[in-house]
Each structure stands twice: as C-alpha cells, then as structure tokens.
Amino acid sequence: MWIAAAFVTMFCFGANNTIFKWSTRNGYSKVHIQLYFYFTAFILTIGFGIFKGVHIGLTAILLGAIIGILNANGNIQMSKAFEKGPASLTSPIIGTNAIFPILTAGIIFHEQITALQWVGIVFMLGSAITIQYSPASNRIINYRPWIIRVILSILSFGLLGILMKTSSFLHIGSLEILIAMYGGGCLYLAMCSVAMKEKWQKSELNVGSLVGIISFFGYSSYFYALQTGTASIVFPIVSLNCLIVVLAGLLFFKEKLKGYQLVGVFTALLGIIFTKL
C-alpha cells in the first residue's frame, strides 16, 4: 500500500506542477497561488483535525511549520532561479535534492536497501533529471544570483524531505504535521506577498484552491508512504512527478517528447521494477 501511496503523491505533485506551469504562462503570481492553496489546505486539515479530535504537540507544530516554510521557499527560489538562468539546467539540478533524504534514510535511520533496489533508485533519480533536461541555447543571464537561488532551492527541498522522514520516525501523526505545515506556510507566504507587492487577480483564488485540494491528498499520501514504507524508495518515486508534467505537456500544451526523454521514461519504469524486486 505504501508504494501505491507514493504513486498517488507523484500524480498529485505532477498535477500541481502542471497547474503551476499553466498559471505561470498566464501571468499568475506563484506566491499568491501558493498562499491560496496553503490556506485552502489549512482549512481542510484543521477541519478534519477538529472532527477527529486531534491534539497538536509542540514538536509537531515546530516540525510542521518548518516543513511548510521550506516547501514554500523552495518553490519561490526555484521560480526566481528560472528568471535568472536557463530552465534547461535549473530543473535537473534542483531535482537532485532527493539525494539528501535518501542518504539520510540509509545512514541515519538505517533503512535496509538491497543492491537491486539501489539500482532502481539510481535509475529513477537519473530519469527524473534526464526527463527535465532541455538542451537549449539559452545562456545564463546572471550567474551568481542564479546559482544562489538554485542552492537555496536544493537545500529547502532536501531539508524538507529529511524533516518529513524525521516526523515519521518520531511517530508524529501526519494530520498534526499537515495542520502545522499549512498553517506555518500560510503565514510565511502572507509575509512574502506583502513584501513582493505583486498584483492580485481574482482567478488566482480558484487556481490556488484547486491546488490546495490536490496538495492535501498528495501530502497525506506522502506521509503515509513515509510512515509505513521505505523512504529511500518513496523519495525517488515522488521525484518522478516530472513524468506527469511531461505527459500533460504532450496532451494540453502540444509539446513534443524528445528521444532522450523517452529513454528517461523507459529507465524510470525499469527503476520502479527494480525497487519492487
């Protein structure tokens, strides 16, 4: 079941990234959409928490809030990196953040991984990088700000994964973490929106609410997979959400699949097979 939950997370994250891609093309603010989606997800989780009678401890509040802030900051830094440098390098480099929680799961949390599963993990990570790569001729406009944004994004997403595994290791309820995560992220994004002073659009509310509902199911599945399964396998599967973005590009944006991306899809499937052996 935990592998199925990891795939649900992959599809949810892929769907949300596709919506982000569409919204960026239509001139919507990523900060505003994130704020709306965090607020929507916060209302959903806190309502469900009240219904279930959940009591949130201090550790859950701190961990969840930090995870929410890291996720929001990672997305902001990534969007800023796209503005400063080539997307052909930015996406694949930031995608390597999955290495940090995978290594942490093996070294610190002592997860047992077979040689074949390691081969599958490497295949999936390599596929995630290959699929997102685009050999364009765009040159880097401003190297120093670009590399700083890339590093900050990698650190945010990498540390996020480590803390998510930590919360499952400490047996903190996923609903507790989610309430604190969306609440903390909501406050952080509210401050960001005030500081950035971007123009608000009414349709951002509808888009953000949809993303919030999808995110709620995605992260609920994510925590379940981490609590009941092998994190070193969960993280690479989730990183393959780029497959959904690529397929959505084919269906909705009339994009063409390149030869090396087909190779990436094939090796991703091989990686999934190896991790299940």
What interhelical angle do 115-132 and 87-94 show, nearest 10? 160
Give 25-43 pLDDT, tens digit per residue: 788 888 898 899 999 999 9
d(CA 186, CA 169): 25
What interhelical angle do 58-84 and 143-169 show, nearest 10? 160
Please measure the distance between the N-terminal and C-terminal CA atoms of the chain and give it in whole angstroms.
15
Judged by average pLDDT, the poorest of 24-28, 155-159, 233-237 is 24-28
- Report which listed range, 87-91, 117-121, 178-182, is most confident: 178-182
d(CA 274, CA 259): 23
**Residues with Cβ within 8 Å of residue 171, at least 6 apart in sequence:** 227
Token readout for 258 is: 């390149």
Section 121-138 average pLDDT: 70
Residue 277 has pLDDT above 60, yes or no: no
**Residues with Cβ within 8 Å of residue 80, at least 6 apart in sequence:** 145, 149
Section 159-182 average pLDDT: 91
pLDDT band at 276 (very low <50, low <70, confident <90, very high): low
DSSP state letters, 64-98? HHHHHHHHHHHHHHHHHHHHHS-HHHHHHHHGGGG
pLDDT band at 69 (very low <50, low <70, confident <90, very high): very high
pLDDT band at 273 (very low <50, low <70, confident <90, very high): low
Section 210-237 average pLDDT: 90
User: What is the C-alpha R_g of the chain?
Assistant: 18
Residue with tokens 């992260």, as numbered in its chain:
219
Section 12-16 average pLDDT: 89
